[in-house]
Amino acid sequence: MKILMVNKFLYPNGGSETYIFKLGEYLESQGHEVQYFGMEHEGRCVGNHAEAYTSDMDFHGGSKLSKLTYPIKTIYSSEARKKIGLVLDDFQPDVVHLNNFTYQITPSVILEIKKWSKRTGHKCKIVFTAHDYNLVCPNHMCNNPNTHENCEKCLGGHFMNCFKGKCIHGSTAKSAVGTMEAMFWKIKGTYKYIDSMICCSEFMKTKLDTNPLFAKKTIALHNFIDKVEWKEVEKKDYVLYFGRFSEEKGIGTLINVCKKLPNIQFIFAGTGPLEEEINGISNIKNLGFQKGEALEKLIREARFSIYPSEWYENCPFSVMESQMYGTPVLGANIGGIPELISVGSTGELFESGNGEDLKIKIEELWNNKEKLDKYSENCKNISFDTIEEYCNKLIKIYE
């Protein structure tokens, strides 16, 4: 099978890139042909034989002239449509797998795929993996950055609320462009050409299903995670948070709770805008950004980890990773988080944003070593899809 992966970035930049690179590598190992389409960039590490890519669009830089044309290009890219046409002619894929494509590549490529398929008579399926809420919320997060509150006003196609709430970076101009982009493609009805929409949580599926067109196409499929070796380790006396230090991640609430629990040692591993608020608190040790073996050791040796998010998380790897390494999770009851924790077996939940509930749950777990040991042992039986299991399901969707 020939598969064309489409993603705005073709270099390591975030979760969607990790996803397409690992998928592509595994699919090739199973005898499928995989090529990639997206923006050209000095760090690009995958590509296509036609050597056709769109120009790199840096919204935070570039010339004054390029900045003036960005609003038009983020809604409809004739360049992306032309370039993907070259790739389609050369590669002739059986499946085009869309990932993050809005703003830089734009849905114009969907129109070109359908046009090419009709012109050549080559049946080409279009599959989309939703890494965020962009098709139902112009700012991707269902969260207003100005109020830091979760927001569903745009669901159902009411995209003018994005403009009214200045939901994209708190900017009237950027929010106007985002609103126009969403409304343009809604009116054009282009998304009807997508055959299947993969949602990485049941929760995300419910949000996309608010669009009746999408509800017929959505499939909930949790992300895959690398299988890890089980190790018996001696737990140490600390509670771990690892991830981004930002408002929507619930760090503000967690910091306040830590101050009220001076006898409990917390370790934070990460970076972000709230870093200064962490430093100087006696029972919080900030180790900064960690990865690889150092992070693995931190996770394995923690009594339990906390995932206190306050926005609609989809399928956070941190929650999956912690349990895979044998560490129970105390997670916020929001978004896709509850789907990943077996409550009363591998972890617990608390009410998102409720500092008092979080404090009570931390104290209960910290003072019940027997329960934590049992939860940790239960993590041996945790079952998340490996890439092999995930791809077996994905191939059925492709077919």
Residues 212 and 350 in one domain: no
Q: Which long-range contacts (CB under 8 A, 24 or more apart) does 190-194 make?
A: 190/107, 190/110, 190/111, 191/107, 191/110, 191/135, 193/110, 193/111, 193/113, 193/114, 193/126, 194/98, 194/110, 194/126, 194/127, 194/128
249-288: string of b/e by CB count within 10 Å (b at 16+)?
A: bbbbbbbebbeebeebbbbbbbeeebeeebeeeeebebee
* AA identity, residue 378: N
Residues 325 and 341 in one domain: yes
The answer to whether residue 133 sits within a structural domain is yes
Tokens of 241: 């948070």
The answer to whether residue 234 sits within a structural domain is no
Residues 11 and 120 in one domain: yes
Q: Bridge partners of 127? A: 97, 196
Predicted TM-score of the model (pTM): 0.90
Residues 182 and 274 in one domain: no
The answer to whether residue 232 sits within a structural domain is no
Q: What pLDDT, on a 0 to 100 scale, did the predictor assign at position 360? A: 97
DSSP 3-state assignment of 291?
A: coil
The answer to whether residue 233 sits within a structural domain is no
Residues 196 and 333 in one domain: no
The answer to whether residue 231 sits within a structural domain is no
Q: What domain range is 214 assigned to?
A: 2-224+388-398
Specify the CATH number for the domain of residue 38.
3.40.50.2000
CA dihedral 278, 254, 333, 166 (to 10 degrees): -60
Residues 59 and 91 in one domain: yes
Residues 393 and 369 in one domain: no
DSSP assignment of 327-379 equals --EEEESSTTGGGG--BTTTEEEE-TT-HHHHHHHHHHHHT-HHHHHHHHHHG
Q: What pLDDT, on a 0 to 100 scale, did the predictor assign at position 71? A: 65
Residues 197 and 339 in one domain: no
Beta-carbon contacts of residue 389 (< 8 Å; ≥ 6 apart): 224
DSSP 3-state assignment of 35?
A: strand
State the Cα–Cα distance between residues 296 and 329, nearest whole angstrom: 15
DSSP 3-state assignment of 157?
A: coil
Q: In what order do the strands lie in the sheet with 284-286?
A: 284-286, 266-271, 239-244, 304-307, 329-332, 347-350
Residues 101 and 182 in one domain: yes
Instruction: Name the domain count of the chain.
Output: 2
The answer to whether residue 303 sits within a structural domain is yes
Residues 249 and 352 in one domain: yes
Tell me how long the chain is.
399
**pLDDT per residue of the chain (399 residues) written in tens, 0 to 9:** 999 999 999 998 888 898 999 999 999 999 999 999 999 999 999 999 999 999 887 655 555 544 444 566 788 889 999 999 999 999 999 999 999 998 889 999 999 999 999 999 999 999 999 999 999 999 999 999 898 899 999 999 999 999 999 999 899 989 999 999 999 999 999 999 999 999 999 999 999 999 999 999 999 999 999 888 888 899 999 999 999 999 999 999 999 999 999 999 999 999 999 988 988 899 999 999 998 999 999 999 999 999 999 999 999 999 999 999 999 999 999 999 999 999 999 999 999 999 999 999 999 999 999 999 999 999 998 889 999 999 999 999 999
Residues 267 and 192 in one domain: no
The answer to whether residue 126 sits within a structural domain is yes
State the Cα–Cα distance between residues 47 and 224, nearest whole angstrom: 23
Residues 290 and 193 in one domain: no
